Amino acid sequence: MRADEDVVDQKKYLEDACKPKCVKPLIEYEACKKRIEGDESGHKHCTGQYFDYLSCIDKCVAPKLFAKLK
């Protein structure tokens, strides 16, 4: 890489490529959001489903990302 080249964050591109592989956790998260839509108390949340989705993406991205690091 030359000094005048901009560094591109590969993680964003890898995450986008991994999202189709994590459809099931995304569907579960979206279903949870829909279930709690009218909750005014603030006690209901979908944190677990959200982290399951992010974990799926991270597990897909990690091996590819670390292979690109110098």
Q: Which two tokens stand for residue 20?
A: 């189709």
Confidence of residue 61 (pLDDT cuts 50, 70, 90): very high
| pLDDT tens per residue, range 13-48 | 999 999 999 999 999 999 999 999 988 887 889 999
The predicted pLDDT at position 32 comes to 96
Say if CB 25 and CB 53 are below 8 A apart. Answer: yes
pTM (predicted TM-score): 0.81
How far is it, in rounded angstroms, from Cα 18 to Cα 25? 12
